[in-house]
Structure 1
């Protein structure tokens, strides 16, 4: 029973630390699988976006893998490539708006978390909540106040250092 509780708490803490990234990756994988299935079924030519790439604008494509890239902030999945000549290609792609929206939402959530982390609003809320439960002592109730405390015992005058002198003779043996 204790092991089950320990594993459950470990799972909750791990999910809190990196769960959003894991969920993001699972959703991204699901979207990519759906797009691949849609491509395999066949897509009409009017649903495709054609992007002409030459050697001058080739560096504007940011490839995620060999079938997916980002161009001007949009994600695209390549359906087929048409090669015009040695320097020019036409990528016939499907616009991946679902994945684009997912990435935008994930980045928005990360920025929100970073803002909350910087502002420390959660810790302020926690302190306010704890003050409602157990209010902090007032100034005159504090243990350390501005009053000077006088000790009852003066250690400096009563200190006697250790000495090796024999202060009394050894006891006599009685027979």
Structure 2
């Protein structure tokens, strides 16, 4: 029963940390696949958006990939690229779905950052994992009796670490008795 509960909480934590990311990546992959299918089935010329950029303007664009750029917050997939002495001519497909997807990602991320409190599960886990762990019980015996009397380890210890202050036996403090 404990293991089932442990695995349940572990699964819930993993879903909370990775669930939206996995969903987002899956949707992004599906949208990209759909765009590629649209390109393969040769989009009509009337549906293509034409751009003319000077060399300077083309370098100012935010390029996501070699065939995809962002202009005024909107994503475009480049179908055909031509270069002449005046600049670049692009024939593009407007990628409305990806634009909506990334705007949703920005709004959800902004909401989560602004509404994340001290007691959010992710913050509690990060706090728990960042605190130092303290050993409650130790099963190792570090006594020097186990080491041979002529050992180089014992001589090294006595030479560098051993002091009369540490080795003097004292009674426990009053509050412990």
**TM-score, structure 1 as length reference:** 0.61
Give the conservation status (yes or no) of the 8 Å contact 1:78–1:91.
yes
Which residue pairs with 2:96 in the alignment? 97
Q: Report how far residue 9 of structure 1 moved.
A: 2.9
Point out the structure with max Rg over C-alpha: 1
Matched, 1:75 2:75: yes
Name the structure with the higher helix share.
Answer: 2
SS, match of residue 62 in structure 2:
strand
Q: Which whole-Å CA distance do the structure 2 matches of 1:65 and 1:86 have between them?
A: 24
Give the conservation status (yes or no) of the 8 Å contact 1:49–1:94.
yes
Q: Which whole-Å CA distance do the structure 1 matches of 2:94 and 2:52 have between them?
A: 15
Query: Any unmatched runs of 5+ in structure 2?
Result: 122-170, 172-177
**TM-score, structure 2 as length reference:** 0.61
Query: Any unmatched runs of 5+ in structure 1?
Result: 124-161, 163-175
Q: Which whole-Å CA distance do the structure 1 matches of 2:40 and 2:60 have between them?
A: 27
Matched, 1:59 2:59: yes
Q: Which whole-Å CA distance do the structure 2 matches of 1:121 and 1:108 have between them?
A: 22
Q: Which whole-Å CA distance do the structure 1 matches of 2:60 and 2:72 have between them?
A: 7
Structure 1 vs Structure 2 CA RMSD: 2.6
Equivalent positions of 1:2-151 (< 5 A) are 6-83=6-83, 85-117=84-116
